[in-house]
């Protein structure tokens, strides 16, 4: 048995699981969703029925019925004297979307590959003999690529030397490395809520205590809470997405930036700025979030959103001493970024502005189609206006995000519930809807959401079957 989740922690992770159907099946669906999102890993021991019933203010009979439903669908197994544990997802689990060509997966908010990438890959392939002659292990990164990344920051008005750059295997790898090197167990980390869930997972993995600061697509960051949280909690580190924040699409103003910088300095905290979406502007009226060039600020970048999610090249820009610390500890995690991918990235960096402009045109078509379809088909929802990024943080009005997502899965549409992006629970009245798919696909997705919303509000519940989920 690999891990155990307490009744209190499970209750927080479940969020607003209650739909208008049978309580036991709504609870079972919410647990299924945690398994599908990998928030409940396989072989996780679940709380005893009596403990979970107390934490959720339910009868033990309701929890027992939910566990029975989960056993029937192969999501958990229960052993006498050992309790219930989650099982690995099966290939034909409904959450895996093995439903044929009609399935739409909007869990991953990543555009298709930049059209010019194939030509760059072919060009690099001609150099394969030279690349293969190298050792292939380099925890800092290819010198020429580091020069290209440094020049990229120089064009942004931040003169950068190569000893400030560490090349990583994507931004997620950089986040895990920073968490393991700069944090100790029980250190406090301040994050936006909602936030990028895999970053929160990385900080939790090292035992950090997370503190959420609200951010809203219309109102922006809660600056009063920000100042209070820095002053009272004295976090070691703060993780932010200041440009086209995922999932809200919001960009920090000069006032918001100055508050975070001043509060972090007073608390002695390091600011980690995730800039992976910073170049995904569509019709931006303001410039990038104006953070200063400061030794206490670490910037993360990658080519995942701008070029292609399959090109696993990211980087850290930080003070040289921080880069040296990260490089010294990196072999514990991996031995370097693949040479061929670095060679591809080296050719792409000088063209990032051009690529970003093309990306903006692609994202504009998806955003405009999605906004129009949602406002037409679901006029009761709150659909925000965003100037860039990859998604809409839609207000659905009722705490039904989890049952809505499960119902949509049964119809071939995969989304992540609002609670997936929460730091301390909540966001059950929100749904992240990416606009990275083609317009026609997004319009089909909205049709599914309309039908699922009617079902959820009308009391239907989803039961996962061996072949695919059905609505009953």
Q: Which residue has the higher pLDDT, 257 or 109?
A: 257
Whether the CB-CB separation of 47 and 88 falls below 8 Å is answered with no
Residue 96 pLDDT class (50, 70, 90 cuts): low
Please name the residue that has the structure tokens 């909007």: 106
Residue 471 in this model has a pLDDT that exceeds 90: no
Q: Which two tokens stand for residue 72?
A: 């029937």
Residue 25 pLDDT class (50, 70, 90 cuts): confident
pLDDT, one tens digit per residue, over 72-84 is 989 999 887 778 9
Residue 232 C-alpha from the chain's centroid: 27
CA angle, 299 then 302 then 304, to 5° = 145
First to last CA, the chain: 34
Residue 454 in this model has a pLDDT that exceeds 70: yes
Number of residues in the chain? 472
Q: How large is the average pLDDT for residues 47-54?
A: 93
Residue 454 C-alpha from the chain's centroid: 28
Residue 99 in this model has a pLDDT that exceeds 60: no
Question: Residue 315 has what pLDDT?
Answer: 98
Residue 254 in this model has a pLDDT that exceeds 80: yes
Percentage, residues of the chain above pLDDT 70: 93
Percentage, residues of the chain above pLDDT 90: 75
Gap between the Cα atoms of 200 and 433, Å rounded: 20
Q: How large is the average pLDDT for residues 250-266?
A: 97
CATH code: domain 94-114+354-471 is: 3.90.1150.10
* CATH architecture of residue range(s) 117-352: 3-Layer(aba) Sandwich (3.40)
Question: Residue 133 has what pLDDT?
Answer: 83
Question: Residue 459 has what pLDDT?
Answer: 59
Average pLDDT, the chain: 90
Q: How large is the average pLDDT for residues 26-36?
A: 87
Report the candidate in 307, 297, 248, 252 with the shortest Cα–Cα distance to residue 276.
307
pLDDT, one tens digit per residue, over 130-144 is 888 888 888 999 999
Query: Among 16-25, 235-244, 374-383, which is the least confidently predicted range?
Result: 16-25
Please name the residue that has the structure tokens 């107390």: 54
Residues of the chain with CATH 3.40.640.10: 117-352
SS (H, E, C) the chain: CCEECCHHHHHHHHCCCCCCCCHHHHHHHHHHHHHHCCCCCCCEECCCHHHHHHHHCCCHHHHHHHHHHHHHCCCEEEECCCEEEECCCCCCCHHHCCCCCCCEECCCCCCCCCCCHHHHHHHHHCCHHHHHCCCCCECCCCHHHHHHHHHHHHHCCCCCCHHHEEEECCHHHHHHHHHHHHCCCCCEEEEEECCCHHHHHHHHHCCCEEEEEEEECCCEECHHHHHHHHHHHCCCEEEECCCCCCCCCCCCCHHHHHHHHHHHHHHCCEEEEECCCCCCECCCCCCCCCCCCCCCEEEEEECCCCCCCCCCCEEEECCHHHHHHHHHHHHHCCCECCHHHHHHHHHHHHHHHHHHHHHHHHHHHHHHHHHHHHHHHCCCCECCCCCECCEEEEECCCCCHHHHHHHHHHCCEECEEHHHHCCCCCCCCEEEEECCCCHHHHHHHHHHHHHHHHHHHHCCCEECCCCCCEEC
Residue 270 in this model has a pLDDT that exceeds 90: yes
Whether the CB-CB separation of 341 and 304 falls below 8 Å is answered with no
Residues of the chain with CATH 3.90.1150.10: 94-114+354-471
Q: How large is the average pLDDT for residues 256-273?
A: 98
Residues of the chain with CATH 1.10.10.10: 3-86
Half-sphere exposure of 380 (CA within 13 A, CB side): 9
Query: Among 2-16, 211-225, 405-419, 446-460, which is the least confidently predicted range?
Result: 2-16
Residue 359 in this model has a pLDDT that exceeds 60: yes
* CATH architecture of residue range(s) 3-86: Orthogonal Bundle (1.10)
CA angle, 41 then 45 then 47, to 5° = 120
Q: Which residue has the higher pLDDT, 340 or 91?
A: 340
pLDDT, one tens digit per residue, over 112-163 is 899 999 999 999 999 888 888 888 888 999 999 999 999 999 999 999 999 9
Residue 433 in this model has a pLDDT that exceeds 80: yes
> Phi, psi at residue 213, to the nearest 5°?
-115, 120
Residue 462 in this model has a pLDDT that exceeds 80: no
pTM comes to 0.86
Gap between the Cα atoms of 53 and 67, Å rounded: 11
Question: Residue 78 has what pLDDT?
Answer: 87
pLDDT, one tens digit per residue, over 157-182 is 999 999 999 999 999 999 999 999 99
Whether the CB-CB separation of 323 and 121 falls below 8 Å is answered with no
Residue 443 pLDDT class (50, 70, 90 cuts): very high
Question: Residue 288 has what pLDDT?
Answer: 86
Residue 93 in this model has a pLDDT that exceeds 70: no
Report the candidate in 272, 260, 323, 269 with the shortest Cα–Cα distance to residue 297.
272
């Amino acid at each position: 048995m690999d891990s155990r989740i307490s009744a209190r922690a499970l209750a927080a992770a479940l969020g607003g699981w209650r739909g208008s159907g049978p309580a036991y099946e709504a609870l079972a669906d919410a647990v299924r969703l945690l398994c599908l999102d990998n928030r409940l890993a396989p072989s996780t021991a679940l709380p005893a029925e009596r403990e979970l019933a107390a934490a959720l203010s339910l009868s033990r009979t309701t929890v027992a019925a939910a566990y029975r439903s989960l056993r029937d669908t192969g999501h958990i197994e229960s052993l006498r004297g050992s309790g219930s544990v989650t099982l690995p997802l099966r290939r034909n689990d409904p959450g895996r979307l093995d439903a044929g060509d009609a399935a739409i997966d909007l869990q991953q908010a990543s555009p298709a590959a930049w059209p010019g990438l194939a030509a760059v890959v072919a060009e690099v392939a001609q150099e394969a003999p030279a690349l293969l002659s190298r050792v292939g292990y380099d925890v800092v990164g290819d010198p020429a690529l580091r020069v290209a990344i440094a020049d990229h920051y120089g064009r942004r008005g931040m003169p950068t030397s190569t000893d400030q750059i560490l090349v990583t295997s994507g931004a997620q790898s950089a986040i895990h490395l920073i968490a393991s090197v700069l944090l100790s167990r029980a250190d406090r980390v301040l994050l936006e809520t909602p936030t990028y869930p895999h970053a929160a997972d990385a900080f939790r993995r090292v035992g950090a205590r997370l503190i959420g600061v609200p951010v809203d697509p219309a109102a922006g960051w809660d600056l009063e809470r920000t100042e209070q949280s820095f002053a009272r909690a004295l976090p070691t580190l703060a993780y932010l997405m200041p440009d086209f924040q995922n999932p809200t699409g919001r960009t920090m103003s000069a006032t918001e930036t100055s508050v975070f910088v001043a509060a972090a300095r007073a608390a002695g905290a390091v600011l980690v700025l995730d800039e992976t979406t910073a170049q995904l502007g569509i019709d931006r009226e303001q410039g990038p979030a104006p953070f200063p060039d400061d030794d206490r600020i670490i910037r993360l970048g990658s080519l995942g959103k701008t070029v292609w999610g399959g090109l696993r090249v990211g980087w850290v820009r930080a003070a040289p001493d921080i880069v040296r610390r990260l490089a010294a500890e990196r072999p514990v995690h991996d031995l370097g970024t693949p040479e061929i991918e670095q060679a591809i990235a080296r050719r792409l960096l000088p063209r990032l502005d051009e690529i970003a402009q093309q990306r903006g045109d692609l994202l504009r078509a998806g955003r405009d189609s999605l906004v129009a379809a949602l406002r037409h088909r679901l006029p009761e929802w709150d659909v925000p206006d965003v100037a860039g990024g990859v998604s809409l943080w839609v207000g659905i009005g009722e705490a039904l995000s989890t049952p809505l997502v499960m119902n949509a899965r049964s119809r071939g549409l995969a989304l992540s519930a609002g609670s997936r992006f929460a730091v301390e629970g909540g966001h059950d009245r929100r749904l992240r809807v990416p606009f990275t798919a083609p317009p026609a696909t997004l319009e089909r997705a909205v049709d599914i959401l309309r039908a699922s919303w009617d079902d959820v509000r009308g009391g239907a519940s989803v039961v996962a079957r061996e072949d695919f989920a059905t609505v009953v």
